[in-house]
Homo-oligomer: A and B are copies of this chain.
Amino acid sequence: MFRIASAAHLRIVVDHLMRIEVLNTGTELLLGSVLNTHLQFLAQALFPLGLRIERQVTVPDGDAIRVAVAETFGRAEVVLITGGLGPTTDDITREAVAELLGLELIHDETVMAAIERRFARRNLTMSARNARQAQRPAEAIVLHNPNGTAPGLYLAARPHGTITTPHLFLLPGPPRELQPMVTDQVLLLLAKLLPARPAVEMRVARIAGLGESAVEELVGGPLLALGLELGYCARPGEVDLRTIGSPAILDQAGRIIAEKLGPHIVSHDQRPLEKVLVDLLTERGETLACAESCTGGFLAHRITNVPGASAVFLGGYVTYANAVKTSALGVDAGLIEAHGAVSEPVAVAMAEGARQKAGADYALSTTGIAGPDGGSEEKPVGTVFIALAGKMGATLVERNRFPTDRQTFKDLVSLTAFELLRRQLTAR
């Protein structure tokens, strides 16, 4: 979990542009049928403007939407509302907002024409219900939706009895419609509302091979002394170290981080480890192969997720059965018999076999016991051998133990294998 190192430092940034709240509508979110990713997306999108979300609420479709919007009046300065803009009768965000602001709902010919064009382009027949989506409160500004039928709507703050209403943004629920609308339109409108302020940036260093507390011990004190905000986000095998402050302070922080954490720094720009590897190999004009047993193709999958991987990744051998270790990689059946498939000599033979068969500069291998079954006293569940064969000479091999669930096991083994290669490529 992310942890803010010091609440006092938070105030540097928060202090205080606009109070922003997010209101997510949708029964599916409260049933757990759909994971709510809107808050995370919106928070990350708003951050570069120096804006933070102060409260987020999820309510079901129906009248709860009206109640929740009304609650923000007099408290929030901006409310981002997602969902409830569809064509069906329980999509009532438009109506609720119009009612609360005392505005008429009008039929917008331009929106209607856009919806009609969309249906025509797709050879679909419009239903009468879609006409509802062309309604908008009078005075609302329409936010074009190139990815769906429901346009977004923006209602600027206005006097309302004794208070000023918040700026209201009505946004579509599906992420593929909402996200481009926010990036392309909402952020510009928000930026215009903001007072001028000193620039604050966020930088994230990705660290491997050190726990969160070890990272804090090494850099926490000196970084906080600079007067920046500091956060840690730990995942299995990795820690993201986040610094927020002025560019000048962040430059100083970067020097401290490089000095104290040097070889553990995977990237300064949140590039994942596999992308760092593909970039390093591409620079060097070198190639890679993999021989996987316990990771079952996950190393190859991660590497081939990187666009351009084909320039450096020649191939992978997922040698799950022992006979395939022998037929595909030339691992001596006697070696497997003598030491077991999960053993240092077999890991070495797999890496060397893959390197030779694929004609690659480097080859990584993994052989281990992912569990839940298959462990022994000598080699309990979670035991894994990872080897790296390559042009550097003797094949490297490491024994580790990751007793965990199957997916986390694959995460940790692939991370450890990739780190073995990254260290090799960046050593000198």
Contact = CB atoms under 8 A, between A and B. Distances in A.
A7 B90 CA distance: 7
Interface stretch (A163-171, A277-285, A312-320, A418-426): A312-320
A10 B27 contact: yes
User: In this complex, which of A10, A44, A316 has the most chain B Cβ atoms within 10 angstroms of its Cβ?
Assistant: A316
Given A27-B10, A33-B242, A324 B314 contact: yes
A233 B321 contact: no
A62 interface: yes
B301 A297 contact: yes
A55 interface: yes
Copy number in this complex?
A: 2
Nearest to A53: B30
Majority secondary structure of chain A interface residues (helix, strand, loop or mixed): mixed
B328 A315 contact: yes
A55 B58 contact: yes
A233 B41 CA distance: 21
Interface residues of A, number: 85
A335 B334 CA distance: 36
Nearest to A35: B40
Contact of A33 (B2, B55, B292, B296): B2
A290 B406 CA distance: 21
A403 interface: no
A84 to B, nearest CB: 12
Contact of A58 (B39, B318, B358): B39
Interface in A24-63: 26-37, 39-44, 47, 52-62
A173 B3 CA distance: 11
Given A55-B59, A318-B315, A3 B32 contact: no
A309 interface: yes
Nearest to A213: B124
A1 B28 contact: yes
A327 interface: yes
A1 B307 CA distance: 28
13 contacts: A1-B28, A30-B54, A30-B56, A32-B40, A33-B233, A301-B410, A304-B320, A305-B406, A305-B407, A309-B320, A310-B321, A316-B316, A317-B318
Given A54-B59, A297-B300, A315-B328, 17 more contacts: A1-B26, A1-B28, A4-B61, A7-B62, A29-B39, A30-B39, A31-B47, A32-B40, A34-B40, A35-B37, A36-B39, A54-B64, A297-B297, A297-B318, A307-B406, A316-B317, A327-B359
